[in-house]
Amino acid sequence: MEALDATLRAATSTTPATPATLLSVSVVIPAYNCAAHVERLLASLCAQTYPRDRYEIMLVDDGSSDDTAARAERVLAQWGGAGRVLRKPNGGPASARNAGLRASTADVIAFIDADCVADPDWLASVVGALATGAPGAAGAGGPLRNVAPPGWVTGYLDACQFFRQRTRNGVVDYLLTANVAFRREALTRVGGFDERRGVWAEDADLSFRLKQQGYALLLAPGGCVTHFGSPGSVRSLCRELYRYGFGAAVLSRNWRNGRTPASEFIRHGGAAALAPLLAWRLRRKVGLARALSFWPLITLEHLSFCWGLCRGVLSDAGRGVAEKGAGR
């Protein structure tokens, strides 16, 4: 607590001069039962190098049953900048992010997760990349650093850089919402995040729909965010990949990029079959013995995604039948 108070005092001690053309920013944080993390995150956001009078911090409490909202209000009350807590019934992270989007009038909406901490230059880097990047750029994402207790699963996630902005052939494929900034008008144009309950991969879905509207997505070279919420067990990793597979199947209705459930099944099924080779490629990072130990994890990771895909296809087919029946 003393360290938190010292950080807040430092953050409120100076007021940087603000260029008149600097983009205004709302930092939106979806939060559900995050009392253990929220003060650490907010302290890092209060200490940003971005001019304090050009950004606000908006925590959206998604129906928490703990004191997440109260802790956030205490931290923001000590800060010299604009901060608020929005309360809403539980609807999932996509719903919480959209609530922040609707409540904002800023030029840019920056997203970060509640189990993260931002480097002091985070906002300056991601918003700067967006402001100075290619015309038509809708979003920019920065690097992610994963911190978790040592273990087999977390060691694998670190070795393969599981938490990273995704690129294909040198082009941004999609951006992760743990470290990203979007122009508000672009988010509004595509309707924000898909809010279907129990469906993950909404960050990939948003990126794909933005690109389909002709927007570009960029990478910011700096502005690292540290992530503390890594799955630490085989069960939690498989559950997470299952959810991503399920979400990819359901949300692929929105996509026109060839990422169909069938193509994704082939891609991830192929990765499961090639797990020994994928493990071998990690040997220079972690050593041969440890790399080969990841072989079963890689297999389980991709098979879990495929299982989620299959269940998502069946769920989406059932939903389609129900919608047709209701239409009659």
Rounded to 10 degrees, the C-alpha dihedral 15/13/112/196 comes to: -80
The pLDDT tens digits of the residues spanning 187-223 come to 999 999 999 877 889 999 999 999 999 999 999 999 9
Model confidence at 326, in pLDDT bands (50, 70, 90)? low
* Model pTM above 0.75: yes
Question: What domains, with CATH codes, occur in the chain?
Answer: 2-13+22-230 (3.90.550.10), 236-317 (no CATH)
Flag whether pLDDT at 17 surpasses 80: no
Q: Determine the residue type at 102.
A: R
Q: Which two tokens stand for residue 313?
A: 């296809």
Q: What is the H or E stretch that residue 61 is in? A: strand 55-62
Residue (of 132, 228, 130, 238) closest to 175 by Cα position: 130
The pLDDT tens digits of the residues spanning 58-104 come to 999 999 999 999 999 999 999 999 999 999 999 999 999 999 999 99
pLDDT at 18: 46
pLDDT at 320: 54
Flag whether pLDDT at 143 surpasses 80: yes
Cα maximum dimension of the chain: 65
Task: Report the C-alpha gap between 44 and 8 in whole angstroms.
Answer: 9
pLDDT at 322: 46
